Structure 1
Amino acid sequence: MNVKVDQNLTKEYVVSKVVPAHAVEPNLRDGRMYRESLRDGRVVIVDGKEVGDVTQVPTLARGIDTVASYYDAQFDPATRDEVTSIDPATGERFSTAWLIPRTKEDLYAHERAIRLTTSQTFGVFGRPPDYGATKAISFVAWNHLISKGDKDALAKVENFIKVGRRNNLMSADIVADIQANRKLAPEEMKGRLRVVEERKDGVILHGAKAAASNLAQGNIGTISMPPPSQNPPEDSRIWAALPANAPGLRYLQREQLTTGFENIDDHPIDSLGEESDCVLIFDNVFVPWEYVFSYKNAATVNSYTTLGQFAFWKIANRLSYRAEIFAGAAQMIVDALGTDHIPAVRQMVAEVVQYSAILRGMMQAAVENCAPTESGVMLPNHGYVTAGRLFSIEHYPRIMQTLRDLSGQGLIGRVPRETWERADVKGMLDEYLPGYRMDAWTKNKLFNLIWDMTCSPHAMRVALFENINATPAPALREELYRSYDRSPGLRIVKKRLGID
């Protein structure tokens, strides 16, 4: 198939709203334009009711506003170099999310974007805009494998990346299969996503997918196959892209966890909204061949880990920057309570610092030991990334509990702002509850923040997401055993033993 890039992108399949060609930054859009792009007729069901505009649903809207701050940061002189890159061929800026890394510096450009969005969201959005085109970039990275079964795959993926870059789109993964009776053979699972019709102009998809975090707040989704326990039937072997408002696509939004938390003092994180998780129902959804990157290709069936390497690195990097926030929060707690002179407290803070330092060290080592694939895309060292992912999720619950332990009764005795402002109690609270070199109200706000980080329903959702998102520990150990290069140490041991 000879794929051409249509410069009149208003007619592109995956584009709902485009950046005007005459704009000062033709490849970028601000928060207002991002919000407008979501008013595209997508079908989202929240609490049993179909919503006409996701920007008007309180929980989704607050999450959308948080994402919009990323798009505004592309125009802020103080942050634009953190989230955008310059195309050397045109001199134009574009979102770093869509940068194909060809050099080590390109990887560090992605790191800068990850750090900014982690700071903006406190790391609780697992699919921020900088996550973007990870699956598409991985397809470019491993084209030397994929093209053996899909000779047109590279051209189609590169076209998709050009469209995403040109329109500054927000992309989300559509990976996880829905949970059903695992004793059934794959072909017996009625809900599996599959091609039910092959047409001259494309395919028709039917079935369902789970999670799809942030797609209801994004523009496009990339469908891919999860790690299979068994080889999936051919009609389910599909990697493709589709717009968030594709006809026949419906979103079943999970229970909202941050409803009503609009007071930033009482809920510094939860008031920023949350990332949407939905069950996606595909009721005969059409996908043109131009956006079917791979179909019935045996090379992609058991390649989830290989094709996910760039995404895994981004996930681990976000966790490492979030760990820096945990270390800062731990220090803030002891500073507020004046407990830093207690040896046991210092040891707990040191444990959080250790968690942060090890993760950052692993991520730095991953970039410094990067290498290009045969297709010329630079990828971080997979062994260090896998070890980092495993370390992060194994220690995450303990770090959360350490922050709770450091806080003590501060998490239980939080007072809402409206109560604090009552004339008959404010003076007493100000007098009775001061911290060490910190007034009582500021200390109260600090523990509101720690609550949102470690105890709220939203915090529990994030903890669950991180464990599943980074891949459960047993699977990571298996991957680490399979992929980590132990040959240097093995050679030394064999030499000492005189083994050839």
Structure 2
Amino acid sequence: MSQLSAGSNYRSRLSDGRKVWLEGEAVADVASHPAFKGTVDTVASLIDLQEAPETQDALTFVSPTSGKRVNSAFLVPSSKEDIRRRHEAFKVWSDATFGMMSRLSEYSRSLLTGWYASRSRLGGASDHFADKISRYFEQSRDLDLLSTTAFHDPQIDRSKGPSESSDPDAYLRIVKESEDGIWVSGAKMIATAAPYVDEVFIYPFHRRSDKDKLYATMFAVPVGTPGLHLVCREPFASEQAEEHPLSSRYDEMDAVLIFDEVFIPSERVFIKDDPEAIWNMRMDPAVVALSQHQTVVRLISKLEFVAALGHEIATTIGVAHHLHVQEKLGELLIQLNTVKALLAVSEEQAEPDAGTGVWLPATEPLATARNLGSRYYPRAISILQHISAGGLMQTPSTLAELNGPIGHLVQKYYRGASVDAKERTRLFKLAWDLIASPLGSRHELYEIFYSGDPVRTYAAQYTGYDKASLTDPVWKLIGNGEAVLR
């Protein structure tokens, strides 16, 4: 009997009894449902690249425990070269999806790799974090499990913290426990790509106070666990790949996870009732650096896609010679090259972590790139809108119009300066899908808040910066001699 390909094995794992809710009904088969099939096909094709001769070396390395080829997102860097190996693996998948899929598991796998790398210094006093995360990491790596995250509390009443809420079920909490594990109820958002993955990592994103320790737990849960419900937003998927080239392939789907007395075995409960341990885990240098590294690689793929599309639109309609259009196209390239440079600096400044010896990219350039991304991407979309202008609406309802009863007339008036009507229509349908479709609008919103509230992330970069290195020379210049204590 022939062995299943990695992609086929992935498809079979989706039939695990998971409760995915869409439009008021449970989805019987995620892999074949029209709202999910296109994205499942995309994910399966990416996984198959791990076995393709031309991409296997870039995407995988040999597991030290199983001897099998495993995804390079699980590679714990022991050198600067290992960081670049991770970069190359991220790039293959990101380029294959034009940066449009941000939760292909590479981000969450990088979090897990960071937890594993820092296992000796993470966890509460009685959590046995190091042992649990080691076993879970090796299992996830060797079984090639896909994962995502759900950090945030539902937007019910954010004027109150968990312990102040009049509804105890408004926040995810432990409702019962035994020596074997815990039962949890409540909800978490936003679980991007949850219908497509094997596992979800759950913990609070923002810092909890000591009075909220009952809401400070970290665990991993299989998507098919009884009592776990995935409530999906409206699907943006299309079954017409030629008419909607992005929506037909890359709708990751976002979901709210509702836990109805879900049992979590103790082996999967990594931190329990410990706000400080959760926060230390969130801010750990290895966790931050490895996960941010992946997000910046993906951002570059997406900005490259936008820059390429902007150039092709301008050329196709014959406006690339205008100075104001060239300025806008130049801005897209400046965005792209800025983020590329920040990533290169981060990798060049990589050093071994003092506590673990694991090599990590420098985080300051990565944080800068991620913060710029929250403003670059909406600006990039605005530039595409201005270059495309009314051409976004000068598109026939379907490509079939080109061969219809008046196809000869349609082809005459829908052509471009350098391409025929079919190619121009295909290009502008792609642009519409990125700029103005429901999927495109979702992506703009998603990139703005990709790293969290951009106000908080910008402020955090300021508060965490070594400002004395900037201000000491100023005070010395005006004669104070020493930095003023501030």
**TM-score of the superposed pair, with normalisation by structure 2:** 0.91
2:183 is equivalent to residue 200 of structure 1: no
2:210 is equivalent to residue 221 of structure 1: no
2:269 is equivalent to residue 292 of structure 1: yes
Q: Say whether the 8 Å CA contact 2:313–2:387 is kept in structure 1.
A: yes
2:417 is equivalent to residue 436 of structure 1: yes
2:296 is equivalent to residue 320 of structure 1: no
Partner of 1:485: 466
Q: Say whether the 8 Å CA contact 2:68–2:142 is kept in structure 1.
A: no
Cα distance 1:46–1:147, how it changes in 2: closer, same or farther (>3 A)? closer
Count of aligned pairs between the two proteins: 474
> 2:157 & 2:144 partners in 1: Cα distance?
39
Q: Say whether the 8 Å CA contact 2:108–2:147 is kept in structure 1.
A: yes
Instruction: String of CA shifts for 1:399-429, please: whole Å, max 9, x gaps.
Output: 1010111112221111133542444222222
2:137 to 144, 147, 161: 161
Superposed displacement of residue 476, structure 1: 1.0
- 3-state SS of 2:252 partner: coil
Cα distance 1:232–1:394, how it changes in 2: closer, same or farther (>3 A)? farther
- 3-state SS of 2:148 partner: strand
Cα distance 1:111–1:129, how it changes in 2: closer, same or farther (>3 A)? same
- 3-state SS of 1:58 partner: coil
> What runs of 5+ residues in structure 2 fail to find an aligned partner?
none
Partner of 1:350: 330
Superposed displacement of residue 491, structure 1: 4.3
- Letter of the aligned partner of 1:246 in structure 2? T
> Which one is further off, 131-140 or 468-477?
131-140
Superposed displacement of residue 151, structure 1: 5.9
- Letter of the aligned partner of 1:272 in structure 2? R
- 3-state SS of 1:85 partner: strand
- 3-state SS of 1:123 partner: coil
> Which one is further off, 35-44 or 134-143?
134-143
> Which one is further off, 478-487 or 215-224?
478-487
1:311 to 272, 284, 291: 291
Partner of 1:61: 37
Superposed displacement of residue 232, structure 1: 6.1
Cα distance 1:289–1:395, how it changes in 2: closer, same or farther (>3 A)? same
2:228 is equivalent to residue 252 of structure 1: no
2:376 is equivalent to residue 403 of structure 1: no
Superposed displacement of residue 115, structure 1: 1.7
> Which one is further off, 484-493 or 116-125?
484-493
> Which one is further off, 446-455 or 90-99?
90-99
Cα distance 1:379–1:483, how it changes in 2: closer, same or farther (>3 A)? farther
Superposed displacement of residue 494, structure 1: 4.3
Instruction: String of CA shifts for 1:82-125, please: whole Å, max 9, x gaps.
Output: 32123467753111122223322222222222222222222222
- Letter of the aligned partner of 2:172 in structure 1? L
Q: Say whether the 8 Å CA contact 2:123–2:278 is kept in structure 1.
A: no
> 2:171 & 2:78 partners in 1: Cα distance?
36
Identity among equivalent pairs (%): 27
2:405 is equivalent to residue 424 of structure 1: yes
Q: Say whether the 8 Å CA contact 2:292–2:366 is kept in structure 1.
A: yes
Instruction: String of CA shifts for 1:9-42, please: whole Å, max 9, x gaps.
Output: xxxxxxxxxxx9x96xxxx952111111101111
Partner of 1:385: 366
> Which one is further off, 463-472 or 276-285?
463-472
> 2:342 & 2:259 partners in 1: Cα distance?
39
> Which one is further off, 319-328 or 414-423?
414-423
> Which one is further off, 100-109 or 68-77?
100-109
- 3-state SS of 2:183 partner: strand
Partner of 1:33: 9
Superposed displacement of residue 144, structure 1: 4.7
> 1:418 & 1:353 partners in 2: Cα distance?
31
Cα distance 1:497–1:67, how it changes in 2: closer, same or farther (>3 A)? same
Cα distance 1:471–1:313, how it changes in 2: closer, same or farther (>3 A)? farther
2:220 to 212, 233, 241: 241
Superposed displacement of residue 80, structure 1: 1.7
Partner of 1:272: 249
Matches within 5 A, 1:435-454: 435-454=416-435
Partner of 2:312: 332
> What runs of 5+ residues in structure 1 fail to find an aligned partner?
1-19
> 1:136 & 1:299 partners in 2: Cα distance?
19
1:121 to 83, 97, 107: 97
Structure 1 runs of 4+ with >6 Å offset: none
> 1:38 & 1:89 partners in 2: Cα distance?
26
- Letter of the aligned partner of 1:382 in structure 2? T
> 1:89 & 1:169 partners in 2: Cα distance?
16
Superposed displacement of residue 279, structure 1: 1.2
2:89 is equivalent to residue 109 of structure 1: no
Superposed displacement of residue 273, structure 1: 4.3
Superposed displacement of residue 300, structure 1: 2.6
> 2:117 & 2:209 partners in 1: Cα distance?
25
1:341 to 321, 342, 345: 321
> 2:5 & 2:357 partners in 1: Cα distance?
30
Cα distance 1:256–1:316, how it changes in 2: closer, same or farther (>3 A)? same
> 2:138 & 2:315 partners in 1: Cα distance?
49
2:282 is equivalent to residue 302 of structure 1: no
Cα distance 1:340–1:232, how it changes in 2: closer, same or farther (>3 A)? farther
Q: Over aligned residues, Cα RMSD in angstroms?
A: 2.3
